[in-house]
Amino acid sequence: MTESWAVRLARNEIDSLRTLRLVEGAEICEQDGDIWVRGSTLDETLARMLRKHPHARRYWVLPDGQLLGPGKRVPLGHLPAGPWRLLREWLAVTLPVARFAGVVASKVPVRLVRTGAVRASNVLLTNITAWSVYGADAPHVRLDRWHFAAAGDGRVVVRGTPLPPLPGRQFVEARGIGMPAGWECYPDVPTDVLRGVFQVHDHDLVLLCEDGSHERIHGDWFVRASRSAIRMTAREYADA
């Protein structure tokens, strides 16, 4: 099987390309409102990166430029002729202008502590196996409540209320900041301040952990839960 690959995304999904910016030799092409990215080799690390975008259309590229979908045998068309540019040049990185914010006399560390307050969980961290089994038979009226994003290591984040009855880790999210259920920030930092610290954009999700680490899920990685979307995501893991 050829190792040459390509992905196609809609123009409004361009922000997700930043994760591919440092892929050696990756090239980009714009055609008919779509964004195409191609490369000549596909290792496991890159495969995991591509699986983080279940909405992206992934292809193998044959020597004559024909495209094969994952697990398919019949070509689906041809790779655009170009022009192609190196992705790292096209997606230039710019740093924000530094702004003077005043003199900080001291820094107050923020940590998570146990809390007795009861708050409804609205984010679930589970796995693709449990999610796909549940999604195969779940009523559409329930699936419509949720959006989900899948990571390359098989984890799935489900967002919405009430959460599905699946094993996993529950979080309480407020305006894009999620804390483990039963935990809260100490000292009590306003959500707007945390959003600024973590540079949370619309629909982004930042999950805080008890050990001080955090994980960001970009808003454009989430898709509406449906049987077809869940089935397609599970199939991509099986084909990888």
Q: Determine, yes or no, domain membership for 196.
A: yes
Q: Please, what is the average pLDDT of the chain? A: 80
125 within 8 A of 164, measured Cβ to Cβ: no
Say how many domains are in the chain.
2
Same domain, 158 and 60: no
Same domain, 115 and 188: yes
Each residue's pLDDT tens digit, 61-82: 888 888 887 767 788 788 888 8
Mean pLDDT calculated for residue range 207-220: 86
Same domain, 119 and 150: yes
Same domain, 11 and 115: no
d(CA 80, CA 30): 9
Same domain, 225 and 140: yes
Which pLDDT does position 103 carry in this prediction?
Answer: 44
Say which range, 17-26, 171-180, 213-222, has the weakest mean pLDDT: 17-26
Stronger pLDDT, 216 or 237, i.e. the higher one: 216
How many CB atoms within 10 Å of residue 218? Answer: 17
Same domain, 123 and 179: yes
Whether the pLDDT of residue 165 is over 90: the answer is yes
- Global model pTM greater than 0.85: no
Which pLDDT does position 164 carry in this prediction?
Answer: 96
- Domain end, chosen from 90, 119, 141, is at 90
Same domain, 86 and 116: no
Whether the pLDDT of residue 94 is over 50: the answer is no
Q: Which residue's entry shows tokens 């084909």? A: 239
Which pLDDT does position 104 carry in this prediction?
Answer: 41
Whether the pLDDT of residue 100 is over 70: the answer is no
Q: Determine, yes or no, domain membership for 105.
A: no
CA quadruple 54, 93, 31, 34: dihedral sign? positive
Same domain, 115 and 46: no
Q: Determine, yes or no, domain membership for 102.
A: no
Give the 3-state secondary structure of 131-195: HHHHHHHCCHHHHCCCEEEECCCCEEEEECCCCCCCCCEEEEEECCEEEECCEEEECCCCHHHHH
Which pLDDT does position 183 carry in this prediction?
Answer: 94
Same domain, 60 and 158: no
d(CA 15, CA 37): 13
Same domain, 147 and 206: yes
Print the domain residue range for 157: 111-239
Which pLDDT does position 13 carry in this prediction?
Answer: 64
Mean pLDDT calculated for residue range 19-29: 76
